[in-house]
Amino acid sequence: MPIVVNLDVMMARRKIGAGELAEKIGITPANLSILKNQKAKAIRFSTLEEICRVLDCQPGDILEYQKD
């Protein structure tokens, strides 16, 4: 898939665990895992906004386009 989710990288940089992030952004740990493991087909802008707010980052820090 040409869109790569680097959420785990930002989480490590901010020293925040998956359970804590899921709670702070208002999604289940299972849905966060799907996003982290490149299994998600889509992400809501509201969820992306919350992730960026909590991790103090930009969407481009989390999402990356890579050519096949």
CATH, residue 51 = 1.10.260.40
pLDDT of 32 higher than 70:
yes
Q: Which amino acid is at 67?
A: K
Counting the structural domains of the chain, the total is: 1
Print the domain residue range for 15.
Answer: 3-65
Long-range CB contact pairs, 15-21, < 8 A, 24+: 16/54, 16/55, 21/51, 21/54, 21/55
pLDDT in tens, 2-25: 899 999 999 999 999 999 999 999
Look up the pTM and report it: 0.90
